């Protein structure tokens, strides 16, 4: 957990790709060397990356449990009238009624397993938001990916907070402004990290996990969301 009172600025920053520079970088010198980078994005978005949110042993344990116990599926989606198998496996957990629909695919929630339910509580504390569902993605290796998209379905409401926990292999997470191609941010998401997107990020920015064939190991990503069960299912297409 984070103790905001005992952060101070680190003396050195890591090299970062992209045109957006960290707005703030904080480290916790009085405990484990946790690093938090905050990026203020154009047009009111923000991204906060907690590099080592979980300790490595817990992250490894969580990765193995989820990899082995989640009933992973490879779903078919419809994009521009054509059907595709998603280039990754996924699963959807949530409170009753948190149905999620995109690209002709309707995901009905499985009840929360204890592991994800307790993780949700910890994510909520550090993201400063409440969540009632989680999309789990398993990238079997670097050939699996997620195309550019925004998490902007109507049932997520406007300016949703999306909190994303990464486990396993480090993968690149790319953000691009919807109008200005040069406005971009590329982050490496290591296993055990927590990324929180907030503000207007989903309106003005798209994000993706590009293929990286050199990566041989698997990665699991958990995106915690708040679905409004009252909102109608959207017709929107989602990048594969
Ligand atoms: O795997 C990731 O880091 C991103 C996942 C994502 O964007 C999503 O599930 O909508
Ligand atoms: Mn997304």
Contact 95, 228 (CB under 8 A): no
State how far the alpha carbon of 199 is from the alpha carbons of 39, 40, 91, 116, in Å.
12, 10, 26, 25
Cα–Cα distance between 240 and 224 in angstroms, integer?
Answer: 19
Does the global pTM surpass 0.85? yes
Which ligand has its closest atom nearest to the C-alpha of 100? 1
| pLDDT tens digit sequence for 33-45 | 678 999 999 999 9
- Of residues 46 and 229, the one with the higher pLDDT is 46
- What domains appear along the chain, each with residue ranges and CATH number? 22-225 (2.60.120.590)
Cα(166) to centroid(ligand 2), Å: 13
Cα–Cα distance between 104 and 159 in angstroms, integer?
Answer: 24
Token pair for 143: 């050939």
**How much is the pLDDT for 23?**
73
| pLDDT tens digit sequence for 204-234 | 999 999 999 999 999 999 999 999 987 655 5
Collect all residues with Cβ–Cβ distance below 8 Å to 119 and sequence separation of at least 6. 62, 165, 222
Q: Name the phi and psi angles at 204, rounded to 5.
A: -110, -5
Nearest to 222 by CA among 148, 118, 128, 116: 116
| pLDDT tens digit sequence for 86-138 | 999 999 999 999 998 877 888 999 999 999 999 999 999 999 999 999 999 99
Which residue owns the Cα nearest ligand 1 atom 8?
Answer: 223
Which residue owns the Cα nearest ligand 1 atom 6?
Answer: 223
**From the CB of 151, is ligand 1 less than 6 Å away?**
yes
């Amino acid at each position: 957990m984070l103790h905001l009172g005992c952060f101070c600025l680190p003396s050195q920053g890591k090299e970062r790709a992209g045109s957006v520079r960290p707005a703030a970088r904080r480290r916790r010198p009085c405990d484990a060397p946790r690093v938090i980078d905050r990026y203020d994005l154009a047009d009111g978005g923000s991204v906060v990356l907690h590099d080592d949110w979980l300790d490595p042993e817990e992250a490894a344990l969580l990765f193995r449990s989820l990899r082995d116990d989640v009933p992973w599926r490879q779903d078919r989606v419809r994009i521009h009238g054509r059907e595709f198998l998603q280039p990754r496996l996924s699963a959807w957990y949530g409170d009753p009624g948190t149905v999620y629909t995109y690209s002709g695919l309707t995901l009905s929630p499985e009840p929360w397993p204890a592991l994800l339910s307790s993780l949700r509580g910890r994510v909520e504390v550090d993201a400063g938001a409440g969540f009632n569902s989680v999309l789990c993605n398993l990238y079997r290796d670097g050939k699996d990916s997620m195309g550019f998209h925004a998490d902007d379905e109507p049932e997520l409401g406007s300016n949703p907070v999306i909190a994303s926990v990464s486990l396993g292999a480090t993968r690149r997470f790319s953000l691009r402004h919807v109008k200005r191609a040069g406005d971009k941010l590329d982050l490496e998401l290591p296993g055990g990290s927590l990324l929180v997107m907030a503000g207007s990020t989903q309106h003005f920015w798209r994000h993706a996990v590009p293929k990286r064939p050199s990566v041989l190991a698997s990665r699991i990503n958990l995106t915690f969301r708040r679905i409004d069960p009252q909102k109608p299912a959207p017709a929107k297409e989602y990048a594969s």
